[in-house]
Structure 1
């Protein structure tokens, strides 16, 4: 596996090795021992999967507050997304900054989003299936989020706003500036 820190170095791009032949390919998407040797030592407790039928579907920007905060290891099993992580740690020099990467079934790239970050993605292909591991169990009372169109973040989703598809819940999220200090 190749691990590359992004502009916010806590967010990691992980590229598993693929072994291909005339039948297709095989890759090991997670190996705790291998990644621990590279400094990524996490115990994942839950796997999640979503299907987004339409291009331009945005899921996020979501997080869980402590003590139920979650790190996520995100990959695409079918289709293609642009994946984003926003630093919401108030004491961080990169507070309010975001990074993103294209993840697809074809490229096999994964994004590790640590605790203290809001996470979102936008679909680039129809019928996209996203899978992610989390290191904390879901807790409804701890969930939070930020509006996808927060002008202070100015995320370039690569989709005209008129074509964005959101859940009703995501339409009601507030701005980063209105978020209390959840992560120090």
Structure 2
């Protein structure tokens, strides 16, 4: 939660905020994650506008993953940017209300909770979208051998497995070698 009281509600006022936050839960995709308990850094710019508070920011942290080709563990820096408008609450009790024309957009809008911004859903979305879908330890990682599972980067150029014929086809090979056989 970020307090916006110092910003005020005067359109045009601006404030910057930097925070280091510990994640209460992991932000993950199938192959990469920013683990639970990891610290992330938030650099925020809060701007008061007519409709609410415009938040522009970057989140920086460290992701962990496995290479999608060779399964080598890796860890690297992650940086994600985001921008979101938090609307002022319309009612006196601090809750948001939507008119008929805004009913479809109500689920997509974020609202201030009093003078506080809940950045967790926005930060989570930005981080998860920035995680790599197929992380690689090196851009030209050759992966694993499909026969024995050894890392091809370590196997060397002479790595091979015989003639490459599947033993299940060996009976057909004997027929091909002797076409007159019945």
Q: TM-score, normalised by structure 1?
A: 0.24
Larger RCO (CA under 8 A, 6+ residues apart)? 1
Structure 1 or 2: more helix by fraction: 2
Structure 1 or 2: more strand by fraction: 1
Q: TM-score, normalised by structure 2?
A: 0.25
Structure of larger gyration radius: 2
